[in-house]
Structure 1
Amino acid sequence: MSLKTNLHKLSEKVEKLSPAEALGFLSDLFPGKVVFSTSLGQEDQVITQLIADNNLPIHIFSLDTGRLFPETLDLIERTESKYKMRIKILYPERQSVENLVDKIGINGFYDSVENRKSCCYVRKVEPLKRALAGNSIWVTGLRAEQSANRSSMRKIEWDEGNNIIKFNPLLDWSYDQMIAYIKENKIPYNPLHDRGFVSIGCAPCTRAISTGEDARAGRWWWEESKKECGLHAR
């Protein structure tokens, strides 16, 4: 029986559970086949805390694109130290990066949406596909409030591109709810958040946002797009 077959029943089950309970349920149902991709954002830091404090057998990994903020890299170390755990770091293929830079230039992603998406694919999408291969559940920190593109998502979805079930445990959490949880549980977070950076990705592609701007406005701010890199394409 394929993973996709019982998606509806699985969705009904997790909807009745708290994020921690749902993570535990899925890790029991799919032993050794549940992975969590963290970009070290505030949502992801909440999920890391849930996994660590509940000692859940969920493999945590992150993608180092080679263009991350120093603050993001420092947060990896602080997170590992606090929770006495190791986050698996994946890197893009060296030859693919060299070929990309030879073709579009070191900052060629500013020149066109096509170039930017090519950069995202090499540095993020391809390493993600490697990390997800052979697993059954992909846990993410997506929240419906983050963007219009994410508002129609469900907690349990089928990701056709990666042939995997995607689980978004914090999908219905509000921003205020998330911040309160972080403060209550003393969860380490990126100091850039205190400087107006809401959604943090690669340093050349991320800026702080102003009051009233969409949470994703600081990502690829020079272009008009859905503000997605291809990891969560719909």
Structure 2
Amino acid sequence: MSADLLNPPGLSGQITASDAPAAGTPLERRAQALNEAFGAADVAARLAGAAAAAHGRLVFTTSFGLEDQVLTHFIIDAGLPVEIVTLDTDRLFPEVHALWKETEAHFGVRILPFYPRHDAVEGFVGRHGLDGFYTSREARKACCDIRKVEPLGRALAGADIWITGLRADQSAARGGVRFAEAEAARGLIKLSPLLDWSRDRTLAFAKANGVPLNPLHEKGFVSIGCQPCTRAIRPGEPERAGRWWWEEDAAKECGLHVGPDGKLTRAKPASLGAGA
């Protein structure tokens, strides 16, 4: 691994080449270097460090939720070379489309959309019906694959670093998330710059900095996905309880952040170090 990767110029928290273990794939070693250098840094330094260490395109996928809006603020404020994209599933709430337009106007940025393949949607509805995702977990996951997972693959094609709004305290399944993780299947580094922020801290930052937010948050919609697959949560429920609310599974994931086994993808601690 080059010294330039481990020591991006002008940034604090650097490590030296001798500090990096030789074990692991090149992707795992790069993720480990980022964790050791910036896992304990603030969000701005994490993003700047990733940009300096990138071997190619940086892509940030936003769903216009609280965390994503805050990350958009950090990215635009620092003028980082990050492509901001979104997955329009064709079943988004009207409030999301309104916030999309407001966000572009507020930050002076164009957000690139990725839509599901029309033939895949037509085939799914033809087989299962318009709201066929209610019929079984398998049907719901198939709908998510068509509307979110496949478009994400196109959005990330050729990317070197994928920036996400994951926070470790969003759910038990996400509790082991690290700042940088090696995604071997996609051949890239996945970053979660807000992993150690609480929801309260994220909301306070957004309000203090005038970041545009979805009005559905004020109505109990904490995690906002497709309509009608998202509902407001009740007092005491975890953040993602409103996703696919008719399912009993506590690990509510659509497939964007899970591997072939259906579990949330995360790197092995031995490969990527302690992180944040």
Q: Same fold (TM over 0.5)?
A: yes
Structure 1 vs Structure 2: percent identity of aligned residues?
52
1:33 aligns with 57
> Given that residues 56 and 161 in structure 2 are in contact (C-alpha distance below 8 angstroms), is that contact kept between their aligned partners in structure 1?
no
Specify every segment of 5 or more residues in structure 1 that has no aligned partner in the other structure, as ranges: none
The answer to whether 1:197 aligns with 2:221 is yes
Task: Give the structure-1-normalised TM-score.
Answer: 0.97
Matched, 1:228 2:253: yes
Matching residue of 2:137: 113
Distance 1:121 1:144 in 2: 24
Question: 2: CA distance between counterparts of 1:6 and 1:15?
Answer: 13
> Hey, what's the Cα distance between the residues in 2 that align with 1:158 and 1:69?
32
- Alignment gaps of 5+ in structure 2: 2-25, 259-263, 265-276
Give the structure with higher Rg (CA). Answer: 2
Does the aligned pair in 2 maintain the 1:3–1:165 contact within 8 Å? yes
Structure 1 vs Structure 2 CA RMSD? 1.2
Is the 2:95–2:215 Cα contact (8 Å) retained in structure 1? yes
Q: Deviations over 1:161-180 (max 9, x none)?
A: 32221100000001111111
Letter in 1 for 2:170: Q
Displaced runs of 4 or more, over 4 A: none
Which residue of 1 is the match for residue 267 of structure 2? none
TM-score relative to the length of structure 2: 0.82
1:221 Cα deviation (Å)? Answer: 0.5
Looking at structure 1, the residues matched to 47 and 182 of structure 2 have their Cα atoms a distance apart, in angstroms, of 17
1:10 aligns with 2:34: yes
Instruction: Write out per-residue CA displacement over residues 55-109 of structure 1, whole angstroms, 9 at most, x where no aligned residue.
Output: 1110000000000000001100000000000000110111111111111111000
Q: Secondary structure at the match of 1:209?
A: coil
Task: Name 2:114's counterpart in structure 1.
Answer: 90
AA aligned opposite 1:14: F
Q: Is the 8 A contact 1:67 1:202 kept in 2?
A: yes
Q: How does 1:34-53 map to 2 (within 5 A)?
A: 34-53=58-77
Alignment of 1:162 onto 2:186: yes
Between the aligned partners of 1:104 and 1:162, the Cα distance in structure 2 is: 29
Aligned pair count reads: 234
SS of structure 1 residue aligned to 2:81 = coil
Output the amino acid matched with 1:27.
A
